[in-house]
Structure 1
């Protein structure tokens, strides 16, 4: 139920007289859902004859059950007892409890939960009650729970009701939701605020720059661009977007430079660390009459400090003729530049096998990883014995992973030999990968029938197979078990 674990302890505490606020974290939407599931969670009764929730096994629980099962929720009940009744396994008890829930504002979250109840009479009663009790202030307070229930089947009523109240509320009503720790709530609040036009371009830009969630950043950045297109961009909006940490916000700021008539400022973002920002900068520079490719070539061909984003930019808009510039940068003293240069050569579909082979010994793991990816199409041209020597535990992890990746491209005995060499490796992830390769291995056409080496390798990997599967694998290669 909603991916939560039911809370079986809270119902026991409630029936024993513990106050609702002490038994349940009433500020946590997940706690209400867990309580609802926990009240009904059953187990064998003491006599072993039927299923009963744990709280019903206590003396207080048996007494309360008798009261609740009398045909209706009769007599005075405490807030805690009514909470149990609202979650009870019997629909008639839940429905009767709803008729008395309006006297306990703290139980409004359980009314929200009951709005998606599987029993139509309960569901209808809960919806009527929620429509009477819920106002904009309560909708703000309960929105995390409302959105959670809204993801259930039959949960659309609560989200529609809350949306109507929040749309009609004053603009400032949504402010607390925009800083809520739940990103789902912030997404909902900003989406609603954008649709209703509650936020100015400056407020949207600040939200895009401040929020840590990429969905909110993108939503607010796009809304800022739309607002700028209608009314122009002031310096505050532009500077806020251009200085943002999030790539979507910076990209929106760079795009806005063109409409603001400041295309020349986009040049400073051609070497941005984010690809989407670089792409927007190239577009704006071109629209302003500039040549991004010439700018990249000049920077990459000049000795001195070089931002890694500049190297990526050259690869993104360059030509195969630019491979020499990138190849030279594979010896750059900055590891990030070397990494981007190798990745750039791969993007241009230019592979210098000998140079990439040398870079498998680079001290930077990123360079090794990119070099291995560049060598994958040529992996079968590499000496497999040389690669096997690089699997030893004394080698850097990046080098061992690269060697295994390249050996895995081979078929038949080479792949099995490499994988078996790592089945007891001290590195957990590499060991797991190797074992999976062994278990999935099948002989290919180049595997000699009756190969003694294959038989020895399979015997070394015997713990990874059932007896039947091991016999089957050997039979496939022409060996006897």
Structure 2
């Protein structure tokens, strides 16, 4: 019995290739080299992909070639072949684990006996190697046995849990974190450090909640609070901000009023209110010195500002920092303080962020804007972000102008714009709502439809023409349509 591995990468798998599928195709077609026991996959799901691909690709479900690799026989569509292959000495342990969830009872029983033997012979090694795979198998109809068995084995071998808590697989880290927290209440600093270092939000929340519960029971811990405040995941930082009040550090709330996360900023404003302060005044004070204004200070101020603060945000539209200008425009849109005369020139701004926010602000008044200047902004010589911004406004305007802009961009040099334009043409012309925005019997609409005819079948084109009362197009080459 070979343990296999889930830590490497299948040799010969190129970029973008699914290693499990590539290895299965190579073995089934007789092109694989080396023993199946040497298969090495980077992800636990590659083993189940290998199993599924072998079963789908094998052309002879009634028998296996005499020289078939053990991996092919273990995943063969014929249950008798799978059961016989389980007795091979070189059977990879990950594929044995997959067979514990087999739909054939005899195969399941034999595979579970072999997995029990592996757990008895080397509990730590088997748990470390197979836990990520077993967690995937637990989702199957017959996969609960392996998951319950591994959970019991981890309770008996708690020394493996720290290793699994640092596994590269997020699902494994969540599983190990839940088991660790179920065994014992952690130290608040240790839980906070784990939450701060975690990259998976679900796992980070487990550790952050554990740190909060430990501090609620044993009192605030400065080191734990600092660790939470230094986390990259916003939810963890927000937990740290809420702890500042009990730690007697409410004065530090101002630092997080300009945090990059809206959740953290909201928690900071709550903390200011709980401490008897005025979050609006604090946020406005962060904008007092224009030279020291930062991006998210503008965002935070707009979240608690009113219509009377529109002039202050408009003054920041001329700020030297592009990020500050973009957030000022976003704040104006939030307060419904957009002005077409102010925003229209910004569609051609050198900053993509500013142009995007200007276009978003203009979408609500797009029907009042002249079409000619907007069409000039989507010309091929314009920067990509300018064409995107102007096209957003033209599409929001709808009607013939929106359709014309989409057809013009079907040949744009930007593949993303071409794709978006094609999708929007189809959405417009194939939906009753989109057709309702177009005039009937309009010669320009007919000409535009001819230019984008490749996006539709002949039958669909005929339906669109009838809906818009347009003359029939050229006769279709498809006799079924004629």
TM-score calculated relative to the size of structure 2? 0.84
Which deviations, in whole Å up to 9, do the C-alpha atoms of 1:51-99 show, x marking residues without a partner? 678xx44x634xxxxxxxxxxxxxxxxxx75x5554343323433554x
Question: Are the equivalent residues in 2 in contact too, given 1:301–1:325 (CA < 8 A)?
Answer: no
Unaligned runs of 5+ residues in structure 2 are 1-17, 473-482
The structural deviation recorded for 1:174 is 0.7
Q: Is 1:60 aligned with 2:67?
A: yes
355-364 or 272-281, which deviates more = 355-364
Equivalents in 2 of 1:84, 1:461: separation in Å?
49
Q: Name which of structure 1's ranges 154-163 and 465-474 shifts more when overlaid on structure 2.
A: 465-474
Report the Cα distance in structure 1 between the residues aligned to 2:31 and 2:409, rounded to whole angstroms. 55
> Alignment partner of 2:186: what SS?
coil
In angstroms, what is the RMSD of aligned CA positions? Answer: 2.9
- 1:348-380 deviation digits (Å, cap 9, x = unpaired): 232222212232222211111112112211111
Return closer, same or farther for 1:4/1:377 CA change in 2, 3 Å cut-off. farther
Mapped partners of 2:106, 2:312: distance in 1:
73
2:468 pairs with 1:477 = yes
Q: Alpha-carbon deviations, 1:121-176, whole Å to 9, x = none?
A: 32234335434542551223211111121222321221122122223433x32111
Give 1:26 deviation, angstroms: 6.9
For normalisation by structure 1, the TM-score amounts to 0.84
Query: After superposition, where does 1:417-436 map in structure 2 within 5 Å?
Result: 417-436=404-423
Q: Taking structure 1 as reference, are residues 382 and 5 closer, same or farther at Cα in structure 2, changes over 3 Å only?
A: same
Separation in structure 1 between the aligned mates of residue 220 and residue 204 of structure 2, nearest angstrom: 18
- 1:217 to 1:302, Cα distance in 2 relative to 1, 3 A: same
SS, match of residue 153 in structure 1: coil
Task: After superposing the two structures, state which structure 1 stretch, 187-196 or 123-132, moved more.
Answer: 123-132
Change (3 A) 1:84 1:352: closer
Q: Is the 8 A contact 2:135 2:172 kept in 1?
A: yes
**Residues 378 and 391 of structure 2 are in contact (CA less than 8 Å); yes or no, is this contact kept in structure 1?**
yes
Structure 1 residues 114 and 384: CA distance shift in structure 2, 3 A:
same
Q: Mark the CA change 1:114 to 1:304 in structure 2 (over 3 Å): closer, same or farther.
A: same
2:378 is the alignment partner of 1:362 = no
Mapped to 1, the partners of 2:111 and 2:142 lie a distance apart of 12
Which among 139, 146, 167 is matched to residue 127 of structure 2? Answer: 139
CA distance in structure 2 between the aligned counterparts of 1:214 and 1:437, rounded to whole angstroms: 35
Counterpart in 2 of 1:90? 78
Cα distance change of structure 1 residues 364 and 128 upon mapping to structure 2, 3 Å threshold: same
Q: 1:15 to 1:349 in 2, by over 3 A?
A: closer
Q: 1:349 to 1:183 in 2, by over 3 A?
A: same
Q: CA deviation at 1:429?
A: 1.0
Any conservation in 1 of the 2:348–2:377 contact (CA below 8 Å)?
no
Q: Distance in 1 between matches of 2:374 and 2:420?
A: 17
Uncovered stretches (5+) of structure 1, i.e. residues with no partner = 45-49, 62-79
Distance 1:94 1:438, change over 3 A: closer
Q: Return the match for 1:122 from 88, 96, 107.
A: 107
Alignment of 1:283-322 (within 5 A): 283-322=270-309
Aligned counterpart for 1:158 among listed residues 146, 157, 164: 146
Residue 51 of structure 2 is aligned with which of 33, 36, 39?
36
Pairing 1:8–2:15 present: no
Matched, 1:461 2:452: yes
1:330 to 313, 317, 320: 317
User: Is the Cα–Cα contact under 8 Å of residues 185 and 214 in structure 2 kept in the other structure?
Assistant: no
Would the alpha carbon gap of residues 220 and 402 (structure 1) be closer, same or farther in structure 2, given more than 3 Å must change? same
1:66 equivalent in structure 2: none
Partner-residue secondary structure (3-state), 1:325: helix
Q: Among residues 377, 385, 389, which one is paired with 1:398 in the alignment?
A: 385
Residue range with higher mean Cα deviation, 6-15 or 187-196: 6-15
Checking the alignment, whether the CA contact within 8 Å between 2:58 and 2:77 is kept in structure 1 is no
Task: Name the count of aligned residue pairs.
Answer: 447
Please give the alpha-carbon distance, in whole angstroms, between the structure 2 residues aligned to 1:413 and 1:421.
12
* Alpha-carbon distance in structure 2 between the residues aligned to 1:249 and 1:399: 37
- The CA distance in 1 between the partners of 2:470 and 2:67, in whole Å, is 70
Quote the offset at 1:281 in angstroms.
1.3
Counterpart Cα distance in 2 of 1:309 and 1:415: 34
Rounded Cα–Cα distance in structure 2 between residues aligned with 1:110 and 1:305:
60
Question: 1:325: how far off?
Answer: 1.5
CA distance in 2, matches of 1:412, 1:125: 67
1:138-287 matches, cutoff 5 A: 138-170=126-158, 172-197=159-184, 199-287=186-274
- C-alpha contact (below 8 Å) 1:43/1:51 kept by paired residues: yes
